[in-house]
Amino acid sequence: MKIWNNFTKTVNVPAEGIKLEGEEPSIRDKYRDDIERVLISKGCLKKRVEHLASEVADAFEEVKEVNCLVVLKGGMFFASDLIRLIDDETELRTRIDFIQASSYYDKSTTSGRVKLRESGLLKGENILLIEDIVDTGGTLKRLQDYLREKGKFFKTCVLLDKGLPKSPGLELDFVGFNIPNEFVAGYGLDYAGMYRGMPEIVIVKKELLK
């Protein structure tokens, strides 16, 4: 793994993965048969999320509040770390709402049909859409169209971007990491419901994927 120390802008993650100096990421025995390797260590995630919180704070500084719309389920840990940092370290007031978007179910490729479930009335105008990953971009496009239909002002924050060709009109305002085109899990992301609780971003073994 490469040692990384600049987290002030989107990190381009090499295929070998990244860690902080002195970190020794390893796959726990219980997951060793399923996981290829660690791509982004726990320490690197923490550092970049801290910087993302300050990027968001700068962008919303004038309006003084941010209405976080967390995309479930994958965005759960990223959003929870990001929002606590925004509240704890910046002058912005926050509100939190949730929306669930699913299209992969138990597969490693998208079904192409993005099902949205709202958790209630979306309050406020200055929305930060918080999503874990942009793969084909289908989910994010659907969510952004949904917010545009509601006439909301929003910015989009994603933790991981695979850098694949995007649908026209897809906007990414804050990106944590550009990653290689591999099936990743951990830190909220799953494969068939598993691995969400792993604290790092890992690559799932190809032979496991359907």
CB of residue 12 vs ligand PRP: minimum separation in angstroms? 19
Distance in angstroms (rounded) separating the CA atoms of residues 178 and 134: 10
Question: 59 vs 116, which CB is nearer to ligand PRP?
Answer: 116
CB of residue 178 vs ligand PRP: minimum separation in angstroms? 14
Question: Which residue's Cβ has the minimum distance to ligand PRP?
Answer: 74
Task: Tell me if residue 135 is catalytic.
Answer: yes
Question: 92 vs 130, which CB is nearer to ligand PRP?
Answer: 130
Q: Which residues pair with 115 in a beta bridge?
A: 102
DSSP-based three-state secondary structure for 88? helix
Q: Which residues pair with 16 in a beta bridge?
A: none
Distance in angstroms (rounded) separating the CA atoms of residues 136 and 110: 8
DSSP assignment letter at 164: P
Q: Catalytic residue among 135, 145, 161, 173, which?
A: 135
Distance of CA 47 to the CA centre of its chain: 14
Question: 92 vs 134, which CB is nearer to ligand PRP?
Answer: 134
CB of residue 63 vs ligand PRP: minimum separation in angstroms? 26
Which residues contribute to the site for ligand PRP (CB under 6 A)?
71-74, 101-104, 110, 131-140, 190
DSSP-based three-state secondary structure for 115? strand
Catalytic annotation, residues = 135
